[in-house]
Amino acid sequence: MTNEFSLHWFRQDLRLSDNPSLNYLSQKHKRIVCVFIYDEVNCNRKLGSASKTWLHYSLLYLNNKLDNNLLIFKGNPESIFLDLIKQNKITEISWNRCYEPWRVERDKLLKKTLSKHVEVKTFNGSLLWEPWEVLKADSTPYKIFTPFYQRGCLTKQPPRKPISNNFSFFDHKIKSLSVNDLKLLDNLGWENKVINHWEIGESFAEKQMNNFLKEGLGDYSHGRNFPNKLNVSRISPYLHWGQISPNTLWYEAEKLQQDVETINIDIFKSELGWREFFYNLMFHFPNIQSKNLQIKFDKFPWDSNDEFLKSWQKGLTGYPIIDAGMRELWKTGYMHNRLRMITGSFLVKNLLLHWQHGEKWFWDCLFDADYASNSASWQWVAGTGTDAAPYFRIFNPITQGKKFDPEGEYIKKYVPELKNLPHKYLYTPWECPSEILSEINLKLGVDYPFPVVDIKLSRAKALKAFSILKK
């Protein structure tokens, strides 16, 4: 029939290249219609403000690439698809899988329902290896990263190589919503400022990757720990939203083996491996966002201090490297990974606040807020995860600042009130003599806060509190 077409359901695969579902449909059908459904009906957690902002601009970009032919709906996918099937001659529906617990359950039921009416196919467009494929010899999931990656992943078939697609999209007349109708922007003013630090869309994901491979990968093993260097990819928001695939990143890095030391490529690929590990944990332990993976932490006496939490969220703790990281997050919707570890450790081990407070704040503020990576990373830094930092590892923000921001450029960028402070006191402003503070017109407690806690005393308090876990 001339009006027959197939449907591709965009989810977290907002790209046309290396898209397994689209590639499958393009080989079978001449006419493809693409749909995006904003589903807040079935989810157990709504998107944070940053995620909704990124999604808004991503959909604008994608719809433009599709010549304004992207169908956009809001609501329950089951009823939306059944209406589309009833009103149109749809031959097949396909999508790339998502792995959040609520989506796994929803999609299982949805596929069963839709299969009564049309053919339904699903594909892996987000991971290098499927979670149910990477298991130990006894068919149980890995809980430790190194064996997971080295024995569970690298000994399997190599990841799927990226595929090139050739589509013929159907210029349909089906009515749907506009991107603006989804009301993804919270109109707080914050979105308009933070989005200016990014270019959003598939072509910009490729641009970001190429810049990193050219400028950053060559010293990745060392430079990735320094927030003011250009040795991190900053590709995580694009990867989360599927504007680039992990397969593309994996193989594009491999292409540079003649030009880049192997250790840099291997460590970059292992970081993709950490992402796989976190998804593996989420798939096998679906309560990862709400429950300690080590149940012994359920009895831990976390503090409850709203002032501490607000100081941390606003970057007003009195520890410059902590405040720089938290302000980078608020200003750009992103935080360097080294700073995520330092700020996370400070929240849970120096302020003794529950890791879920940090997880919720990052969920709302990060453009790359990922259910798996965000939850698992916070469990790692808190020591509550399956492969976690030991409870006695407490990052010292003073020594971490000196080590990883030795020139103070990162601190001065995000904590500009300290830019005139002599370098000797940049990491410990409270030690600066009053006459010097007067000369540079800096009033501690007014222009910049005193430390919210004493670093040595808070460490001792944390170690004492964590010691109960050994009993």
Looking at the fold, whether 313 and 440 belong to one and the same domain comes out as yes
Looking at the fold, whether 277 and 149 belong to one and the same domain comes out as yes
Looking at the fold, whether 261 and 396 belong to one and the same domain comes out as no
Average pLDDT over residues 425-444: 98
CATH number of the domain encompassing residue 103: 3.40.50.620
Q: Quick one: pLDDT at residue 1?
A: 43
**Contact between residue 239 and residue 368 where contact means Cβ atoms under 8 Å apart:** yes
Residue-wise pLDDT for 54-73, tens only, equals 999 999 999 999 999 999 99
Residue-wise pLDDT for 116-137, tens only, equals 999 999 999 999 999 999 999 9
Residue-wise pLDDT for 155-209, tens only, equals 999 999 999 877 777 788 899 999 999 999 987 788 888 999 999 999 999 999 9
What is the chain's percent helix, strand, coil content, to nearest 5?
50, 10, 40
Domain membership of residue 177 (yes or no) is no
Looking at the fold, whether 276 and 348 belong to one and the same domain comes out as no
Domain membership of residue 118 (yes or no) is yes
Q: Quick one: pLDDT at residue 390?
A: 78
Closest by CA to 133, choosing from 99, 95, 96, 93, is 99
User: Is the backbone of residue 68 left (phi > 0), alpha (psi -120 to 50) or beta?
Assistant: left
**Percent of the chain whose pLDDT exceeds 90:** 89
Domain membership of residue 48 (yes or no) is yes
Domain membership of residue 189 (yes or no) is no
Q: Which of 76, 98, 125 is the last residue of a domain?
A: 125
As given in the structure block, the two tokens for residue 360 are 């919720």
Domain membership of residue 403 (yes or no) is yes
Q: Quick one: pLDDT at residue 188?
A: 72
Domain membership of residue 87 (yes or no) is yes
Looking at the fold, whether 276 and 352 belong to one and the same domain comes out as no
Q: Quick one: pLDDT at residue 165?
A: 79
Looking at the fold, whether 224 and 363 belong to one and the same domain comes out as no
Looking at the fold, whether 142 and 79 belong to one and the same domain comes out as no
Looking at the fold, whether 446 and 349 belong to one and the same domain comes out as yes
Q: Quick one: pLDDT at residue 339?
A: 98
Looking at the fold, whether 344 and 412 belong to one and the same domain comes out as yes
Average pLDDT over residues 227-238: 96
Q: Quick one: pLDDT at residue 30?
A: 86
The kind and range of the H/E element at 54 are helix 49-65
Looking at the fold, whether 147 and 245 belong to one and the same domain comes out as yes
Residue-wise pLDDT for 273-317, tens only, equals 999 999 999 999 999 999 999 999 999 999 999 999 999 999 999
Domain membership of residue 191 (yes or no) is no
The kind and range of the H/E element at 308 are helix 306-314
Q: Quick one: pLDDT at residue 458?
A: 97
Interacting residues of 197 by C-beta distance below 8 A, sequence separation 6+: 331, 332, 333, 334
Closest by CA to 94, choosing from 71, 125, 51, is 125
Domain membership of residue 451 (yes or no) is yes
Q: Quick one: pLDDT at residue 406?
A: 98
HEC readout, 139-156: CCECCCHHHHHHHHHCCC
Cα distance between residue 380 and residue 344, in whole Å: 10
As given in the structure block, the two tokens for residue 377 are 């990373």
pTM: predicted TM-score of the whole model, two decimal places? 0.96
CATH number of the domain encompassing residue 418: 1.10.579.10
Looking at the fold, whether 345 and 384 belong to one and the same domain comes out as yes
HEC readout, 411-460: HHHHCHHHCCCCHHHCCCHHHCCHHHHHHCCCCECCCECCCCCCHHHHHH
Q: Quick one: pLDDT at residue 238?
A: 98
Looking at the fold, whether 138 and 108 belong to one and the same domain comes out as no
Residue 221 is classified by DSSP as H
Q: At what angle do helices 355-365 and 306-314 cross, to 10 degrees?
A: 40
The kind and range of the H/E element at 353 are none
Task: Count the domains in the chain.
Answer: 3
The edge-to-edge listing of strands for the beta sheet with 32-38 is: 71-74, 32-38, 5-10, 90-96, 119-123
Range of the domain at 19: 5-125
Residue-wise pLDDT for 15-63, tens only, equals 999 999 999 999 998 899 999 999 998 888 999 999 999 999 999 999 9
**Contact between residue 404 and residue 227 where contact means Cβ atoms under 8 Å apart:** yes
Residue-wise pLDDT for 351-398, tens only, equals 999 999 999 999 999 999 999 999 999 999 999 999 877 778 899 999
Q: Which of 241, 259, 284 is the last residue of a domain?
A: 284
**Percent of the chain whose pLDDT exceeds 70:** 99
* 71-74 and 5-10 beta bridge pairing: unpaired
Q: Band of the pLDDT at 2, cuts 50, 70, 90?
A: low
CATH number of the domain encompassing residue 233: 1.25.40.80
Q: Quick one: pLDDT at residue 176?
A: 97
Q: Which of 284, 312, 330 is the last residue of a domain?
A: 284
